[in-house]
Structure 1
């Protein structure tokens, strides 16, 4: 996905980049975005990649699908209910082996139970690190994903998760070619 996701960095370097980028308006987020982790040594590093996570869809400010996965044939995307899959995220981050499990196969096999058509997050403007910017707020989890703009097609996200002191970073690139099932 590019230089941000290819080389490990530190939380301090990722925060410096995040702080140097401009804020985003919620309406500018509308669309489908392909995601990738930015490795910083965070306890979550590797977990989303291992799960097979593809990205996020912002249909409007009230209709957000935070966890998209590709269908088996790769021609479409399906939305996963985050509360069913990641409610125990805190304890899982303390078990390094959890990132090495075949999570993508397990999630694919559990698709009938984990899939949702209902939105599971919404977009609002919040203040984070002194800047008002677009923030995806999960409906049922203590997680806010805060966004700054790298360029017109690329966003840097900082996941603010209750109970973990430093943000988890990821990149989103606009990719509207795949549609939700």
Structure 2
């Protein structure tokens, strides 16, 4: 999936992405229940390219207490597996480490580490938080200083703003509902 599959006009700066985010409606946590396929929204953030290079597929929200923030496809593409985000973002100097990832692919190394990085446990929760003056659904990572805040683009798509502690600007992505693949091990 690509961001252009969801947005007809794609912002390219943080200011434009924030304008779009602020113009979209807030969502209730129940709206997020389901499996969502994701794509990055490049705005010249230091993390731009990181998720795409990793082979990231999306997120799954089973209920408010059971969230899988990092889903990846199996090698044959027939199912999904959940990665422990603590391993993906270890040390959380990730913003500094991420420079230059746009041209590098981590998909093969991440797939190769599946046995070590796969998790069956939920690694995030879904709550309502106030962000930029609006109460909206937010995915709160269990062990990382990251909140993914969501605003509604349509009935089946949201714009996400990753609020990463220590980063002056959010990292943006889009999600679209997609229940076509099952999560293995659950």
For normalisation by structure 2, the TM-score amounts to 0.92
Q: Name the structure 1 match of 2:41.
A: 38
Inter-CA distance 158–91: structure 2 relative to 1 (3 Å threshold): closer
5 Å-filtered alignment, 1:62-141, equals: 62-91=65-94, 93-94=96-97, 96-141=99-144
Confirm or deny that 1:17 pairs with 2:6: no
Confirm or deny that 1:51 pairs with 2:71: no
The separation in 2 between residues aligned to 1:30 and 1:170, in whole angstroms, is 18
Q: Considering only aligned residues, what root-mean-square deviation do their CA atoms show, in Å?
A: 1.6
Aligned partners of 1:42 and 1:166 also within 8 Å: yes
Aligned partners of 2:3 and 2:40 also within 8 Å: no
**Which stretches in structure 2 are left out of the alignment for 5+ residues?**
none
Q: Name the structure 1 match of 2:32.
A: 29
Q: How big is each residue's C-alpha offset from its partner over 1:76-110, in whole Å with a ceiling of 9 and x where there is no partner?
A: 00000000121234245345234433311110000
Q: Please identify runs of 4+ aligned residues in structure 1 that moved more than 2 A.
A: 1-8, 88-102
Confirm or deny that 1:146 pairs with 2:182: no
Inter-CA distance 139–82: structure 2 relative to 1 (3 Å threshold): same
Inter-CA distance 92–132: structure 2 relative to 1 (3 Å threshold): closer
Alignment length (residue pairs): 181
Cα displacement (A) at 1:43: 0.5
The separation in 2 between residues aligned to 1:29 and 1:93, in whole angstroms, is 30
Cα displacement (A) at 1:6: 8.4
The separation in 2 between residues aligned to 1:5 and 1:99, in whole angstroms, is 23
**Which stretches in structure 1 are left out of the alignment for 5+ residues?**
none
Q: Residue 147 of structure 1: SS of its match in structure 2?
A: strand
Q: Residue 96 of structure 1: SS of its match in structure 2?
A: coil
